[in-house]
Structure 1
């Protein structure tokens, strides 16, 4: 079996049980790439290059977390490159050259490692690594880094911790004041025998005797 894997053709003497791949390159397939491709979550390689596919790149491809190679070169795809694809951190090959794609090239994770050849042949595509700069913005904004997410989580934790401490402090002070008031009230009641007429009468009778 001859198979194009990561840009190079390889010969497999038998079907591999480890590699999960789809290679439909160099045919004359037409129409849009179906969204259901995103359901093949174990897929490691997807090669649809050198066909006549049209429409957008499916954003459902973000579900292919184990994908290592994605080749859509030499088609008629249009629209933008979905920003969600930045989440595919196992990608070592990404090729959408010679299509009709538009807009800024996403950045972050593996997308910062792909060469200029991965995007050439798209006249309306802009941003690094291409020499054409985007008009509205320099490049697409990168997704928040793990460090920034951890910092946000830490800030939220610190805020919650301060709120808890303040709550406990206020509760302690209020409880202390209420406790003192109750103790003083009880002392006054016992000292002047308020609310205990029988006992007061007994005390006075003792003095009379």
Structure 2
């Protein structure tokens, strides 16, 4: 059996509802949703997993993670249909470090998630500071997923993250003519209405 992972970050207030669907119908069992946790930057984080078997995944059913927050609804779909088309553009998401990881390691792990890549042959992912200085970046290519999802982790001192300094994830690929750039920083006492929803398919 494998798991689909749905992560929701950068939302406030903490009241939120997460629902799994298969072909548009709510799933009533086989999932586990964690507690809503503070991420250390004034917003909240939530993760849920849905356990499926091989036949479920390769049936090409569409699985959906749907989130209701405030008066808005967000959703992400995933399936074993592996064709990459203009309907599935290459996307990048910058995910902030969790408060728990900062507390334990005294460092801040910055995560960049890149999805819908047809191949990683020409893929380059890097983390930089605002002034362009490169951070040491670890790209997880070996754990690629069926829909071309890759992660890259950069690490900075917790003091640098807490200061509000901005960091940037830069993604280049031959199938995307312009580099994708995603900036992230810890808000300094300001409200944020931005919500990031990412769904990860099972590992092969």
User: Do Structure 1 and Structure 2 share a fold, with TM-score over 0.5?
Assistant: no
TM-score between both structures, scaled by the size of structure 1: 0.27
- Indicate the structure with greater helix content: 1
TM-score between both structures, scaled by the size of structure 2: 0.28
**Greater Rg by CA:** 1
- Indicate the structure with greater strand content: 2
